[in-house]
A and B are shown apart, each in its own frame.
Chain A
């Protein structure tokens, strides 16, 4: 029975006492809880607040817009254009097979795309968009938009992609961009630091070498995310910085003509301003469509490109190496004159061949040039004469001059693909082949054969340095006013000095030259003048090797040197058969070379044309140069408008 406490009972007191103890303990425990709350919410608040923010927010980087590359006249060469893309949100797709079926009816969507997408879906979170196609045609895109309401889970998106001229005229020089590969990431710390999905990186050409400045800075979107990583809402959006824009020295019109001139041929063309060093055109053939790489080239097309024996992926203007052949003769002559080895009046009898230590050395002209002097020897490109000059000069002195004029060194320092070429010396042979130099090799060097290797851009530079009066000009491909201004100023000074020199006949102060970065490459200006005059003869006088390609008008008149670089030793039998190049199989034919400068009276441009297996320089290369020179000269007036003139008085 439930009963009240008896008045005397101490049970109640005991219970109350114990409860009092318990209450005291409870208060203490409450205090501990409050202390803990204080610790977490007040003392450690900042720590937990930042942890909470980190929980809450997540950032997504956005690929930045690549800088635009323009040509000298501001035409966009590598630009960013709108592309039509199709994205898919896997979580919104009710039935993937039905989606694929519908897509196959609307757009170009085959089995391979299907496999690729299924693989991607497996590896991604369902709310991450997947790119189904990043280059839809307008008709596909509009068709999709019509049927959009019937297909769930897809989203047409207008994106940005790189665009290049379709004729491929810039494919080698500009290169192309493509998805960042694992190898790219391993090789570049910079790429690792900015890498975002969808980022494209330059793979070759200027796109590659300028990549770090042209790529831009990625932007980011800060999203609130839930515990499962799903984006809830955008909190912050910082647009990326577009990459730096670049202007290059190329004239697209000249470039396009050069590309056209090389269609069906394997070779390259370089055109350079001999004073500023601006490269006006640089073309390699055959070329390819760089746009194909932007969206991922198909396997078939890739295989076709790499199996092509004409090597369309190589930029032959800077990475093709050829013996310079006779195009080096002006340098051999200059070197000999500068070193006082010969005088222009040295007369050599050319019988078509000479014999040295039992080995026969031939002239290209079987009948020989009879008795010949230096000017005629350059003009008619007499090999026998230059054997003699080389013998007297020696290979090391020749090499020194050749190097001064740009052979054996990288002409540009912006393109990674550029090759060095080779200017042989006795030391080089000893170091690299381990054998001593023999006199026969000197003779071959005298006609640009043997070990000599040069790239077309080097040949062009060589001609530029000769034709500008023997000054060390550096080729430029990236155009900017800051570096151009001092160059023009220096030349102006140089020209006005020359002008005064003629007037007052005073010696120019050579110190000024070095101060202004204009390095003289000659000892006696008369020697340069002599060589240039001989080159005039080679193009503009009967018997000259490129006489057939001459212009009579002063405006277009040019002077140049042909070269035919042998890629094999001609056997005695072949000589007796008098085989012409066109009778030989293609891959055995000689390379045709031509270097020139124009206009002759007031030189401004130098160029080199190299046609692989193109036969002789005079028949294979010079006619192409002729067509191009006219264009280059015609374009000069427009180019002049873009920059300060070199001559103050004109």
Chain B
């Protein structure tokens, strides 16, 4: 009975090591290396603390990724709620002990670095919901009593993040969670109804938005309305990308970057800089790397032997996709500038940590999904 329901606990290290997804590891490392060069380029070829920090973080969290990979998936299953609540506590902590920067309070000072709990929540919410829906049959997912907890599990952190204020991360947390709920079996019509309700609620939401957020949305609709103010970022980003052309201006030759026209070039606009220097070809290749990573995560999810792992992998793959697409769409002028980093590429410790954590659990589910059979 026991053997039927559980993974084989007794894999030796060699087996564990061999069941690592080396393609995924290779792709993540590749992305990491590309990001080193991109961050280095933001500093116009000077090796400054940005590049240095980024490299340290990447490798530190890469180690975290490997450690998590070798941790039993059941540990993560068991700790799912704890992880979620701890992250939630940190989010509350931000309200009280948070560090402010450029008008918003998002960070907790951990001495070594400033942690952004909202980034961790991106992964925590997926873990939480994957565990929650683990035992719930698909048809039950549409029952109200099974819907309330997930809804609150999403709304509470989202509300906290919005008040920081950080609309971008809040939206990413929410969409990540909603994807898992849908995958778990909630009928599409409820999403449709919610969407209608949301549209109706827009006027009230707008009333609650901060002035700068309103400006961002208006600016998205017409960037030229304020070319030197809020629309500046988007216009300069489009100029940088557009001027890249087919092959790009060449590494370290992005004039928009070099001359400080690019805003937030280390973080949210790293793709702009990359795209200016490597052009259409480079951008499509980068997109391909992301697509392959997502494909690998989905593939791991497909062979997962249990609901938790499957939901988690699919959820994380989808969330990861959303992060990538929202960031790119944003710098390409397809979405408003909301402040969403490009996973792994962007400079930032918390987002790197949360992504490595996310991949670690994916890898863990692969390693510990092996060796047990359905029969």
Contact residues of A with B, CB < 8 Å?
Answer: 1-5, 7, 10-12, 14-16, 18-19, 22-23, 26, 29-30, 32-34, 36-38, 40-42, 44-45, 47-49, 51-53, 55-56, 224-228, 232
> Looking at the complex, which one of A2, A11, A37, A42 makes contact with B73 (CB distance below 8 Å)?
A2
Q: Decide if A22 touches B259 in the complex (CB within 8 Å).
A: no
B296 CB-CB contact with A under 8 Å: no
Q: Are B183 and A19 in contact (CB under 8 A)?
A: yes
Q: Which residues of A contact B372 (CB under 8 A)?
A: 4
A36 to B243, CA, bound (A): 14
On chain B, the residues within 8 Å of A4 by CB distance are 4-7, 305-306, 372, 374
- Given the complex of chains A and B, what is the CA–CA distance between A401 and B305 in angstroms? 123
Is B199 in the interface zone, CB < 8 Å from A? Answer: no
Select from chain B the residue with minimum beta-carbon distance to A224.
Answer: B259
A226 and B260 contacting across the interface, CB-CB below 8 Å: yes
Please name 11 pairs of A and B residues whose Cβ atoms are closer than 8 Å in the assembled complex, sorted by A: A2-B73, A2-B306, A4-B372, A12-B310, A18-B183, A30-B287, A38-B280, A44-B242, A45-B246, A52-B256, A56-B255
- Check B242–A47 contact: CB distance below 8 A: yes
Q: Looking at chain B's contact residues, is the secondary structure mostly helix, strand, loop, or mixed?
A: helix
Q: Please tell me which one of the listed residues B74, B243, B279 contacts residue A2 in the complex, with CB atoms under 8 A apart.
A: B74
List B contacts of A232 (CB < 8 A).
259
- Chain B minimum-CB-distance residue to A22: B318
Q: B81 interface residue, CB < 8 Å from A?
A: no
User: Nearest-CB distance from B112 to chain A (Å)?
Assistant: 33
A29 x B284 contact (CB < 8 A): no
Chain B residues closer than 8 Å to A47, beta-carbon distance: 242
Which of A33, A45, A227 is in CB contact (< 8 Å) with B332? A33
Taking A33-B325, A40-B238, A52-B240 as contacts, is the C-beta distance between A15 and B311 under 8 angstroms?
yes
Smallest CB separation, A430 vs chain B (Å): 67
With a cutoff of 8 Å between Cβ atoms, the chain B residues found around residue A5 in the complex are 305-307, 374
- Give min CB distance, B164 to chain A, whole Å: 27
0/1 string, B226-264, CB within 8 A of A gives 1: 000000000010111111111000000001100111000
A55 touches B255 (CB 8 A): yes
A41 to chain B, nearest CB (A): 4
Q: Is B298 an interface residue (CB 8 A)?
A: yes
User: Which one of B185, B260, B287, B306 lies within 8 Å of A14 (CB-CB)?
Assistant: B185
Complex: A208 Cα to B334 Cα, angstroms? 58
B245, A42: Cβ atoms under 8 Å?
yes
CB neighbours (8 Å) of A36 from chain B are 329, 332-334
Q: Which of B245, B311, B334, B374 contacts A41 (CB 8 A)?
A: B245
Q: Compute how far the CA of A477 lies from the CA of B371 in the bound complex, rounded to whole angstroms.
A: 108
Contact B134 A2 (CB under 8 A): yes
Do A33 and B329 have beta carbons less than 8 Å apart?
yes
A residues within 8 A CB of B325? 26, 29-30, 33
Judge if B154 is at the interface, Cβ distance under 8 Å.
no
How many positions in chain B have a CB within 8 Å of any CB in the partner chain? 59
Q: Report how far A14 CA is from B314 CA in the complex, Å.
A: 12
Residues of chain B within 8 A (CB-CB) of A37 are 241, 275, 280, 283-284, 287, 332
B314 contacts A19, C-beta separation under 8 Å? yes
Tell me whether A45 and B245 are in contact in the complex, defined as CB-CB below 8 angstroms, given that A2-B6, A11-B185, A15-B311 are known contacts. yes
Closest Cβ of chain B to A466, distance in Å, is 72
Question: Residues of B contacting A7 with CB < 8 Å?
Answer: 374
Question: Known contacts being A18-B182, A19-B314, A37-B275, is A1 close to B5, with CB within 8 Å?
Answer: yes
Beyond A4-B372, A29-B325, 16 extra complex contacts between A and B, CB < 8 Å = A4-B4, A15-B311, A22-B314, A30-B291, A33-B287, A37-B280, A37-B332, A41-B241, A41-B246, A44-B242, A45-B242, A45-B243, A48-B240, A52-B239, A226-B260, A227-B261
Residues of A within 8 A of B246 (CB): 41-42, 45
Query: Which residues of chain A are within 8 angstroms of B183 by Cβ–Cβ distance?
Result: 15, 18-19, 22
Alpha-carbon distance A3/B4, docked complex (angstroms): 8
Which are the 4 A-B pairs with shortest beta-carbon distances? Answer: A48-B242, A52-B243, A3-B5, A226-B259
- Within the assembled complex, what's the spacing in Å between the Cα atoms of A48 and B260? 17
Whole-angstrom distance between the alpha carbons of A286 and B280 in the complex?
Answer: 75
B91 in contact (CB, < 8 A): no
Most B CB within 10 A of own CB, among A7, A29, A224: A29
In the complex, whether B77 has a CB less than 8 A from a CB of chain A is yes
Contacts of B305 in A (CB 8 A): 4-5
Contact of B340 with A by CB under 8 A: no
Q: A36 CA to B314 CA in the complex, in Å?
A: 26
* Inter-chain contact A48/B332, CB cutoff 8 Å: no
In the complex the two chains form, what is the Cα distance from A33 to B332 in whole Å? 8
> What's the minimum C-beta distance from B329 to chain A, rounded to whole angstroms?
6
Taking the closest CB of chain B, its distance from the CB of A630, in whole angstroms, is 71
Q: How far is the CA of A94 from the CA of B333 in the complex (A)?
A: 43
| Least CB separation from A36: chain B residue | B332
| Most-contacted residue by chain B among A2, A5, A7, A14 (CB, 10 A) | A2
Residue of A nearest to B375 (CB): A7
CA distance A38 to B334 in the complex (A): 13
A48 and B77 in contact, given A10-B138, A26-B294, A37-B284 (Cβ under 8 angstroms): no
Would you give the shortest CB distance from B230 to chain A, in whole angstroms? 16
Q: Min CB distance, B282 to chain A, in Å?
A: 10
How far is B372's CA from A396's CA once the two chains are assembled, in angstroms? 131
CA distance A622 to B219 in the complex (A): 84
Bound-state CA distance A238–B305 (Å) is 73
Residue of A with least CB distance to B246: A42
Kindly list chain A residues whose C-beta atoms are within 8 Å of the C-beta of B306: 2-5
Q: Indicate if B27 sits at the interface (CB-CB under 8 A).
A: no
Minimal Cβ-Cβ distance residue in B for A18: B183
Whether, in the assembled complex, B367 has its beta carbon less than 8 Å from a beta carbon of chain A, the answer is: no
A34 near B77: Cβ-Cβ < 8 Å? no
B179 at the interface (CB under 8 A from A): yes
* Bound CA–CA A1/B135 (angstroms): 9
**Most A-side CB within 10 Å, residue of B134, B243, B280, B333:** B243
Nearest A-chain residue to B305, judged by Cβ: A4
Is A2 within 8 A of B308, CB to CB? yes
On chain B, the residues within 8 Å of A52 by CB distance are: 239-240, 242-243, 255-256
In the docked arrangement, what's the CA distance between A37 and B283, Å?
A: 8
* B316-338 with Cβ < 8 A to chain A: 318, 321, 325, 328-329, 332-334
Contacting pair A41 B283 (CB below 8 A): yes
* A22, A29, A52, A232, most chain B CB atoms within 10 A: A52
Identify the closest chain B residue to A55 (Cβ): B261
Specify the chain B residue showing the minimal Cβ separation from A23: B298
For B241, list chain A residues within 8 Å (CB). 37, 40-41, 48
Asked whether B242 lies within 8 Å of A49 as measured between CB atoms, the reply is: yes
A227 and B298 contact, Cβ closer than 8 Å, known pairs A22-B318, A41-B241, A51-B243: no
CA distance A55 to B258 in the complex (A): 11
- Residues 298-313 of B contacting A (Cβ, < 8 Å): 298, 301-302, 305-308, 310-311
Q: Does B137 contact A (CB under 8 A)?
A: yes
Does B361 make an interface contact (CB < 8 A)? no
Task: Give the complex CA separation of A55 and B280 in angstroms.
Answer: 21
Interface residue B342 (Cβ < 8 Å from any Cβ of A): no
Chain A residues with CB below 8 A from B185, complex form: 11, 14-15
Chain A residues, CB < 8 A from B255: 52, 55-56, 224
What residues of chain A lie closer than 8 Å to B134, measured between beta carbons?
2
- B243 in contact with A227 (CB, 8 Å): no
Q: Report yes or no: A12 in contact with B280, Cβ–Cβ below 8 A.
A: no
